[in-house]
Amino acid sequence: MQAQCLCGAVHVTAPTVQDVHVCHCSMCRRWGGGPAFTVHGGTEVELTGPATRYASSPWAERAFCSHCGTHLFYRLLATNEHFLSAGLFQDEDGMQLALQIFIDEKPGHYDLANDTPKLTGAQVMAQYEDASTDDA
């Protein structure tokens, strides 16, 4: 998949994916003004152009275009997995909402009508912990 930021200075290449995940955690909502809609780009993401990276936690970083501020990705440091802003890929057909995470942090002022699996923050963190012990 190919994408670019709002001003066109940053270009992104990622594997083709159809599933969109939504994160309702407080950090994602503070970062973007609402839930983060992302696609899992894995470790095979190419980024060219002026991007600023911000260490948003001890285990992850977020990136945005240094010129226009477009949100580009959230990256897990331990695995190098990229979760790219789904809005970057406006020309992709067939994308579908597949999962909502940190549902326990979702505020009451919005609801998504899609019938998707919903995981709490504790369930998400348990999955990451299980994955890290599998690799050990």
pLDDT digits (tens, 9 = 90+) for 93-134: 899 999 999 999 999 999 999 999 999 999 998 887 765 555
Eight-class DSSP state of 34? S
First-to-final CA distance of the chain: 32
Strand 19-23 versus strand 36-42 pairing type? antiparallel
In the predicted model, is pLDDT for residue 136 greater than 50?
A: no
pLDDT reported for residue 128: 74
Q: What phi and psi values does residue 89 have, to the nearest 5 degrees? A: -105, 60
Q: Which residues, at least 6 apart from 94, have a Cβ–Cβ distance to it below 8 Å?
A: 18
pLDDT reported for residue 135: 47
Q: What is the CATH number of the domain that holds 66?
A: 2.170.150.70
Q: 100 is in which domain, residue-wise? A: 2-134
Give all strands of the β-sheet with 96-101 in edge-to-edge order: 51-57, 60-65, 71-76, 81-85, 36-42, 19-23, 96-101, 118-119
If one counts the domains in the chain, the total is 1
In the predicted model, is pLDDT for residue 79 greater than 50?
A: yes
In the predicted model, is pLDDT for residue 50 greater than 80?
A: yes
Q: Are residues 72 and 51 in contact, defined by beta-carbon separation less than 8 angstroms?
A: yes
